[in-house]
Structure 1
Amino acid sequence: MGTLEPLSNLCSLTTLELQDCGEDLECQGLQSLLTTGGQLNKLEIMGSPRFFADWDPNPKRALEDAEGGEEQQTQLVSSTLRELMTDDIAGVLAAPVCRFLSSSLTKLQLLRNWCGGMERFSKEQEDALQLLSSLQELKFWNFKDLQQLPAGLRNLTSLKILSVNCCPPILSLPNDALPDSLEKLYVRYNCTQELKQQCRGWREPSLKS
C-alpha cells in the first residue's frame, strides 16, 4: 500500500495507527478521512519518514476572472484531527500542513526514535509549528542530537503541557521563554540535570519533572 487511498472511504474511522510501513507510504487519501464527513481524530504514523512530504491540503490554482488570469486560494478546508504522533518531522512541520491542522490539532508528539542528524529545527519548521494555534499539548521524544527546543514556543498561546523526554543534549529552555498559558512542564528520562534544574524553578508548585 503506497497511499491511504484504499482507506479513504472509511468515513467512520476515528483512530488510525500505522507502524513501520516504509518510506514509500504517502498520505494521499488521508484528507478524505479528515474532511468532508470524515471523523478521524487520532493518527499515529511511525516508520514512514516521507509520509507528509510535499503535502498541501489547500493548494492554489489559477482562476480566470474578468480582468485576466490570477492565482487565488481555493476554498480552505479544515481538519478533524485532534491528536497526532509522528516521526516525519520534516514533513509535518511544513506551513501547508500546519495551517490545515491549526484549528483542530490539540496534541502533537514528535519522535525521532534515536535517529541522528537533527541538531536543531529550521526557521521554516519553527514558523510552521507556530501556526498550530489550537495546540494544547506538545511532546518531544528521543532526539539524541537535538541541541535546543524550537524557538517561538511562546507564540503557542493555547499550549498547556510541554514534555521533553530522552533529549540528552538540551541544556536549557528556549531563550524567548514559554507561553503564559503553560500549566505543566515535564522533563523526564535521560535529560540533562541542567535542564531539569532550570525547569524546577520555572513555576512551582505546578511543575512536575
Structure 2
Amino acid sequence: METLHAISNLTSLTQLDMRSLGESRAEGLWPLLAHGRLTKLDLRAASGFFADPDPSRPHDIDVFSRSSKLLDLTTESKTGVLAASICSLLSSTLTRLDLRFDDEVERLTKDQEEALQLLTSLQELEFFWGDKLQRLPAGLHKLINLQKLRICSCSAIQSLPSLPSSLREIKIYRCDSLKSLPNSLPSSLEVLEISWCRAIKSLPKDGLPSSMLKLDVHDRNSEELKRACRKLIGTIPVVIT
C-alpha cells in the first residue's frame, strides 16, 4: 500500500500494529489519530512514514491536541517521528514512547533532540536496539514528567546524560560499553535494574538516593558492581545480586 486510506474509517480501533510498510505514507492514519479511539500504535520498518504530508492538514494542531487519544507509541527513528511538527501533535497525549534505531544511527540530530523535548507528557521512554548509538539526547532532563527510562541493547553508549528529576525507575540492559552511571541519580528514584553491563564497575559517586526500593544487578554484571551493591543490603528493601 502506498497510503493507509483503506483504514482511515476504522475509527473504533484502539490498537494498531503495522510493520514492514516500506515507503507507505501516513495520510490515512491521521484521521484515526485525530478523531478515532486509537490509544496504542506499533509502527516499524516504515522509512520516512511521517515525512509527508504536512500533518497539520486537514487536522490542525488544536483539533488534534483536543481529540487524539494516542498514549503508547512504538516506532523507529527512521519513520520521521522525531520532527517538531509530529511531536507537537503528540505532546499533549503521548505517555509512552518506545524508540528503536537502525544499524547506522550514531546520534540524534539537533532537530530530533529538540523535537523529543516537546513530548512533555511522556512518562515512559525506551531506547532500543541502538547498536551504533553513541549517546542519549543531552536534553533528556527536560522531560519533566518522565518516570520510567529503559535503555536496551545500545552497545556503543559509554555514559549517560543528566536525567530527569522525576525518574522513579531506570532499567539498563545489554549496554556493553557503558562504564559508569551519572555521579548523581534523581532523588525520586525507586528502582534501578542493570543487566549484562559488564563495564560498569561501581555505583554513582554520590551514592544512591534514599528513595530506593529495589536494586537488581544479578544478571551478567561485573563482580565489582555486585560487591558494591551487597554493601547496601539492609539499607534498601530489595537488593538482588
TM-score normalised to the size of structure 1? 0.83
Asked if 1:160 is matched to 2:147, the reply is: yes
CA distance in 2, matches of 1:123, 1:92: 14
Displacement of 1:198 in angstroms is 8.2
CA distance in 2, matches of 1:18, 1:102: 22
Matches within 5 A, 1:119-158: 119-158=106-145
Change (3 A) 1:162 1:203: farther
Aligned 8 A contact 1:89 1:110 in 2: no
Displacement of 1:58 in angstroms is 2.1
SS in 1 for 2:127: strand
2:95 to 106, 121, 145: 106
Aligned 8 A contact 2:73 2:97 in 1: yes
SS in 2 for 1:152: helix
> What's 2:226 paired with?
none
Aligned 8 A contact 1:159 1:179 in 2: yes
Superimposed CA distance per residue, residues 27-49 of structure 1 (whole angstroms, 9 cap, x where no aligned partner): 1111110123x100100111111
Superimposed CA distance per residue, residues 102-124 of structure 1 (whole angstroms, 9 cap, x where no aligned partner): 00000001112xx3221111110
> What's 2:69 paired with?
80
> What's 2:183 paired with?
none
CA distance in 2, matches of 1:96, 1:14: 23
> What's 2:190 paired with?
none
> What's 1:70 paired with?
none
The AA in structure 2 aligned to 1:99 is S
Q: Tell me how many residue pairs correspond in the alignment.
A: 191
Matches within 5 A, 1:49-68: 49-58=47-56
CA distance in 1, matches of 2:202, 2:76: 25
Aligned 8 A contact 1:185 1:208 in 2: no
SS in 1 for 2:165: coil
SS in 1 for 2:115: helix
> What's 1:65 paired with?
none
Displacement of 1:59 in angstroms is 5.1
SS in 2 for 1:194: coil
**Quick check: 118-127 or 49-58, which moved more?**
49-58
Query: Share of identical aligned residues, percent?
Result: 41
User: What runs of 5+ residues in structure 1 fail to find an aligned partner?
Assistant: 61-72
Change (3 A) 1:80 1:11: same
User: What runs of 5+ residues in structure 2 fail to find an aligned partner?
Assistant: 181-196, 218-241
Structure 1's consecutive aligned runs of 4 or more residues displaced over 6 angstroms after TM superposition are none
**Quick check: 193-202 or 181-190, which moved more?**
193-202
Asked if 1:21 is matched to 2:21, the reply is: yes
> What's 2:39 paired with?
41
Q: Which has the larger radius of gyration?
A: 2
Change (3 A) 1:199 1:52: farther
Asked if 1:183 is matched to 2:183, the reply is: no
Displacement of 1:154 in angstroms is 0.7
Change (3 A) 1:156 1:198: farther
The AA in structure 1 aligned to 2:166 is S
Displacement of 1:75 in angstroms is 4.7
